[in-house]
Structure 1
Amino acid sequence: MHQSHNIAWDSLTSNLTFIAENPVVTPWRTDFFPRGLPLQFNSLNHFARTVATTIRTFSDTERAKYPTSFDAPLQGKLFPDSILERYSSIPASSVTPKSQLIEHWIERAGPTPSYTGPGQENQLDQLLMLAHHPCIPLHELQQLSWGHHWALEAYIFFNVLLSKPELHADGRYKSMGSYTSALRMLTNSTGYDVQTFPHREFFGALDDGGNVERADSLADFNKLHEYLRMCF
């Protein structure tokens, strides 16, 4: 399990059990269900705190790799042409020749700024530049949308799945409603599809119906661990 030396995964997984066709819920469903242990509340709180602490620690470490101040260009390219070529052909892509230009981001500033742009490829230096730019009020945004939380949900779900080896050999995990929902959430077409691209690379291509092909996510544990690192 990823970051097992920092994240108290057992505090989460010990409170979950696999039940096939659980008659307690309607309609019957195959999935993970809470065990209802006496200390469940405390255990889950402990897990959440270790996740938050680990993310905060890694965030601070990563931020320290970059300068505290940035130039504020008024024109030019925000990201290289290689990223534009890689993502612009994706349906409903937010990576476009327009969003590549800093001028576009400045023009979008206003009383209620709204931005749609790239957030992949670990472009933290560009993101920090935007966050410090006096003409681009990212700090005034009230919410993020279009999949910003998906990577964290996938990260938690598949680490939990790794903790249940009894479900791996016979592929029972594929029958879980949460597994199907996770694949749909991570790969289905949405308002902007760029954020789904890294997930589609791992899970497989979309079929003609717009659904991801049901590849065996646990077939290659090395690839799965690389995927979890990317999500983290």
Structure 2
Amino acid sequence: MHQEHNIPWNVFATNFKYVHEDKRSQQPRPARFGYTSQGRPTQACELGHLVRKMIAMIREFSKTERAKYRLPSELGPPEDGKLFSDHLRDKYPDYLNSQNQKLELWVDSVHIDFGGNPVYDTAHGDLADVVKVLVNENQMQTLLMLANHPLVPLHRLRQLSWGHHFGVNRIVEAAIPLYIFWNFMATSGGLATGAHRNDLCVSLVKSMTMTMDHEAQQIPHWELYGVKNFNGEKEDLPEVDPVRLQEYLKHLFSLLFRYDMLMAECGVDTDWESEIVSSISWYYGAKTETTQDEEGQWRTQFK
């Protein structure tokens, strides 16, 4: 498990159960990916507590990490004009190249919208992929510089879509469900018994190893599972080494707090509650509701 002393992962084991498919039955399983609620009256409260603890840890690590870097006024462009090293460029040739290695490209790619604001759009998915790679490689000094550059609207790369979403936020969308699932399996004994080889694991591995347009958020998942475009069944799932899995969980968590740090530097307050609650609702069938709070903000919570 990861952060087990701060995040109550046992909440999943007490509130959700896995319903095995019975091919002899005419009744469909009451769950999208095999998991269904135990129906405990305290479920919403317990899950809400878990979400708050998870958010608190992400934000705490985000603030601690930011303190390691220079102040915005001290974040100047690189002297050699390169945003990342040639070594890193050669490591990720599908996403990094000599063009997007230069700050000039990021400035020249900007256009002005009808409101007079500098923006990026769906034509700049390649730049979003660069950000994903740099977050994955912990190149936060460069990203903080870009976030503070007056001619680089980095936050506009957060949400990009044309049929499917490929903005920088895909880092979070990929990391959260896997971080939750593997911690759930560890705390429930599923890793020891092999119970992790279930329909949800199949769905997650398929989704997070899929190739697509602007796919750099998949990199850490390809590395762990050792496959692209997994299309097998439970018995075909790749073996996962426990030591590597622990490092993977640590890395997933670092992706979350690095993303939070970067977005905060851009002036964006990440809605972690909606991100985490929506993920748990989708994959485990927890009931939610979206309401407007006293400040007029929409919130998605368990009910």
CA apart distance, 1:59: 0.3
Cross-structure match for 2:98: 97
Query: How many angstroms apart in 2 are the aligned matches of 1:141 and 1:224?
Result: 30
Structure 1 length-normalised TM: 0.85
- Matched with 2:194 is 171
Structure 1 residue 222: deviation in Å? 1.2
Segments of 5+ residues of structure 2 without an aligned counterpart are: 113-118, 122-126, 254-303
1:67/1:29 CA distance change after superposition, 3 Å: closer
Query: Take 2:109 and 2:80, find their aligned partners in 1: how far apart are those partners?
Result: 14
Over 3 Å counting, the alpha-carbon distance change for 1:74 and 1:137 in structure 2 is farther
**Does 2:109 match 1:87?**
no
Which residue is 1:53 aligned to? 56
Pairing partner for 2:219 from 197, 206, 230? 197
Q: Quick one: which amino acid aligns to residue 18 of structure 2? A: F
Between 140-149 and 44-53, the greater mean CA deviation after superposition: 140-149
Give 2:131's aligned residue: 118
Amino acid at match of 2:44: F
Deviation at residue 169 of structure 1 after TM alignment? 4.6
| Aligned-residue identity in percent | 33
Could you tell me how far apart the structure 2 residues matched to 1:79 and 1:102 are? Answer: 10
Q: Deviations over 1:7-34 (max 9, x none)?
A: 1212333211122116664598772222
1:21–1:29 CA contact under 8 A, matched in 2:
no
1:63 and 2:86 correspond: no
Letter in 2 for 1:98: Q
Counterpart position of 1:9: 9
Specify whether residues 27 and 55 from structure 1 end up closer, same or farther in structure 2 by C-alpha distance, changes over 3 A only.
Answer: closer
TM-superposed CA distance for 1:68, in Å, is 1.1
**Closer, same or farther: CA 140–75 of 1 in aligned 2, 3 Å:** farther
- How far did 1:170 drift? 5.1
User: 1:78–1:100: 8 Å Cα contact kept in structure 2?
Assistant: yes
Instruction: Give the one of 128, 139, 143 matched to 2:144.
Output: 128
Change (3 A) 1:59 1:103: same
Deviation of 1:143 (Å): 2.3
Q: Which structure ranks higher in relative contact order (CA pairs < 8 Å, sequence separation ≥ 6)?
A: 2
- Gaps of at least 5 residues in structure 1 are none
Q: Which residue of 2 aligns with 1:41?
A: 44
Deviations 1:50-77 (A, max 9, x none): 0100000000000000011211469711
SS at match of 1:156: helix
Q: What is the rounded CA distance, in whole Å, between the counterparts of 2:221 and 2:106 in structure 1?
A: 27
| Deviating more after overlay: 135-144 vs 120-129 | 135-144
Partner Cα separation in structure 2 for residue 20 and residue 150 of structure 1: 25
Post-superposition shift, 1:214? 2.8
Given that 1:78 and 1:101 are in contact with CA atoms closer than 8 Å, whether structure 2 keeps it comes out as: yes
Q: 1:140 to 1:28 in 2, by over 3 A?
A: closer
SS in 1 for 2:111: coil
Aligned partner of residue 66 in structure 1, secondary structure:
coil
**Matched AA of 1:129:** M
Q: Displacement of 1:97 after TM fit?
A: 2.4
2:247 match: 226
* 1:121, distance to aligned residue in structure 2 (A): 0.4
Aligned residues: 221
Question: Any conservation in 1 of the 2:202–2:237 contact (CA below 8 Å)?
Answer: no
- Greater helix fraction, Structure 1 or Structure 2: 2
- Contact 1:16-1:34 at 8 Å conserved across structures: yes
User: For the Cα contact (< 8 Å) 2:19–2:29, is it kept in 1?
Assistant: no
**Deviations 1:91-111, CA, capped at 9 Å, x for gaps:** xx3323222111111112223
Distance (whole Å) between structure 2 residues aligned to residue 73 and residue 29 of structure 1: 49
Deviations for 1:157-207, whole angstroms, at most 9, x for unmatched residues?
111111222x44553432x2211111012111011233222211111133x
User: Does the CA-based 8 Å contact 1:94-1:193 persist in structure 2?
Assistant: no
